[in-house]
Amino acid sequence: MIKAIIFDFGRVISAQKPSTLFRSYEDELGLKPGTINSIMFDSEAWQEALVGSKTVEEFWYEIGPELGLNSVDEVDAFRHRYRADEEINEEVRDLILRLHGNYKLAVLSNSPPGLAQWLADWNVLHPFDVVFCSGDEGIAKPDPEAFTLTLERLGSKPDEAVFIDDTREHVEAARKLGLHGILFTTAEELENELARLLLRNF
pLDDT digits (tens, 9 = 90+) for 114-127: 999 999 999 999 99
Domain residues of the chain, as ranges? 4-15+87-198, 19-84
Tell me what the mean pLDDT of segment 12-32 comes to. 97
- pTM exceeds 0.85, yes or no: yes
Cβ count within 10 A of residue 139: 21
With a pLDDT cut of 70, the percent of the chain lying above it is 100
* Domain 4-15+87-198 superfamily per CATH: HAD superfamily/HAD-like (3.40.50.1000)
Which segments within 31-179 are labelled E, that is strand?
104-109, 130-133, 161-165
Q: What is the pLDDT of residue 94?
A: 98
pLDDT for residue 202: 65
Q: Is the pLDDT of residue 87 over 90?
A: yes
Q: What are phi and psi of 111, to 5 degrees?
A: -145, 150
Q: What pLDDT is attached to residue 166?
A: 98
C-alpha torsion angle, residues 14, 17, 18, 21 (rounded to 10):
150
Q: What contacts 91, CB < 8 A, 6 or more positions away?
A: 187, 188
Q: Residue 105: pLDDT band by 50, 70, 90 thresholds?
A: very high
pLDDT band with cut points at 50, 70 and 90 for residue 199:
confident
Q: Is the pLDDT assigned to residue 201 strictly greater than 80? A: no
Cβ(106)–Cβ(154) below 8 Å:
yes
